Copies of this chain bind each other. A is one copy, B any other.
């Protein structure tokens, strides 16, 4: 046996990349959701720059600016995060002078959140800068598909949460 046949030769190298078979993977939306999230996250942070907050903190700050005296539990529900995650974000924002918290006299367990002037300014600046991100996002999705796409995402979230699993 002097030499490998052509078949043996092929059997000793990976298949060409273009011919890779993804099998059932095309059906799995999960991977695309993850990558789409990562790409959107990166677009947001790059466009807003290093001085800006991350998308998650921007969400929380916006909720506070739009709803003075919102409670921490409300923030958690509105932003789909656990209260423990919210606590960490709020302490950081308070330490950095973006918000103030004070307990309600009606129910001293409840901490109400209010944005400081600095916090309001930060939110406004970020909202302005984020328009470029929203435009890029809108163009990528396609204006005519936008509304339907967001609706589908919300339905997906709602339906899959309801689903009872045997």
Contacts and interface: CB of A to CB of B under 8 A. Distances in A.
Given A31-B79, A163-B43, A69 B107 contact: no
B70 A15 contact: yes
A152 B160 contact: no
A63 B159 contact: no
Contacts of A17: 74, 77-78
A121 interface: no
A100 interface: no
Q: Which of under 10, 10 to 19, 20 to 34, or 35 or more describes the interface residues of A?
A: 35 or more
Number of identical protomers: 2
A160 B40 contact: yes
Nearest to A77: B17
Given A12-B105, A20-B70, A27-B134, 18 more contacts: A14-B71, A14-B104, A22-B62, A22-B78, A23-B66, A24-B130, A25-B63, A26-B150, A28-B130, A35-B157, A36-B153, A47-B165, A47-B166, A140-B160, A141-B155, A145-B148, A148-B148, A149-B149
19 contacts: A12-B105, A13-B106, A13-B107, A17-B77, A20-B63, A20-B74, A21-B67, A22-B66, A24-B62, A25-B59, A28-B59, A29-B137, A30-B55, A35-B80, A39-B161, A132-B166, A137-B156, A140-B163, A141-B152
Interface of A: 9, 11-15, 17, 20-37, 39-44, 46-47, 55, 59, 62-63, 65-71, 74, 77-80, 104-107, 110, 112, 127, 130, 132, 134, 136-137, 139-142, 145, 148-150, 152-161, 163, 165-166
